[in-house]
Copies of this chain bind each other. A is one copy, B any other.
Amino acid sequence: MAPEAAVQSDKNNDVPRLENLTLSQRAHTFLRDEILSNRLPPGTELQEVALSQQLGVSRGPIREALGRLAAEGLVTVRPRRGAVVHSLSSGEFLEAYQVREALEVLAVRLAVPRLGPEGLAELQTVTDTMAAQAASGHVTEFFEANSLFHETFVQLSGNEKLQEVYRRLIGQMRRYWRRSLVLRGDLRRSVSEHRAILRAAREGDAEKAAVLMAEHIRVPQARLQSMTADELLEAEASFDRKVSE
């Protein structure tokens, strides 16, 4: 199965030429990027005419793109009342975290026995950059490196269906990276947890690595459950203050 929305691309080119793409594909990836990068934050209304003018195409391709995004969970379309960028309540966020935990534990179990020296090196590199970003207080870059660590495990699992499901889920959660970081708390602890997972993986102890990963992902879950909505908002606000310093 092709990685993105079951649309086969050319065998020769991993990244198909722009001119060969259909307009609805271009609209799809454009909107997808806009949403995932938070340039279109949750709750934004997506009007077909405005989008079609912005992209210079008619409404047809836009509608197809919106429909696909809806099926991916990035957009909510209310029949006859327009589409909006889908938003996650804190409850849904917690639910997604639980599913993510299950998927990543599977990824670790599958990946560790298959791990070669290249895979281990890759994980090591990612962990090191993550530690560096944490030390210098670059929270955004830290988050990116952190995400990459987890995604690398999923990739190294060799299970493409798992990758597909995982990426879809992450796509829904990624936009709330601020919330994730707030819940995560201490960056250094996070780094040392990653180091422990990597150590277990290097020893070939899949079960231990899986347990450590599960506990690692459960940290933000636990904090989220012990917080009220107001406390979460306050924490996010103070996070913003700290970052903008």
**A: which residues have CB within 8 A of B?**
1-2, 5-8, 21-22, 24-25, 60, 63-64, 67-73, 75-80, 86, 92, 95-96, 98-99, 101-103, 105-106, 110, 159-162, 164-165, 169
Contacts and interface: CB of A to CB of B under 8 A. Distances in A.
Which 9 pairs from chain A and chain B are nearest by CB? A71-B71, A95-B161, A102-B106, A68-B71, A6-B70, A102-B102, A5-B71, A95-B159, A64-B67
A76 to B, nearest CB: 5
A235 B21 CA distance: 43
B79 A25 contact: yes
A161 B69 CA distance: 17
A228 B1 CA distance: 21
A19 B8 CA distance: 35
Given A8-B79, A92-B161, 15 more contacts: A1-B76, A5-B70, A6-B73, A6-B86, A8-B78, A68-B70, A71-B71, A71-B72, A73-B164, A92-B160, A98-B106, A98-B159, A102-B106, A161-B169, A165-B165
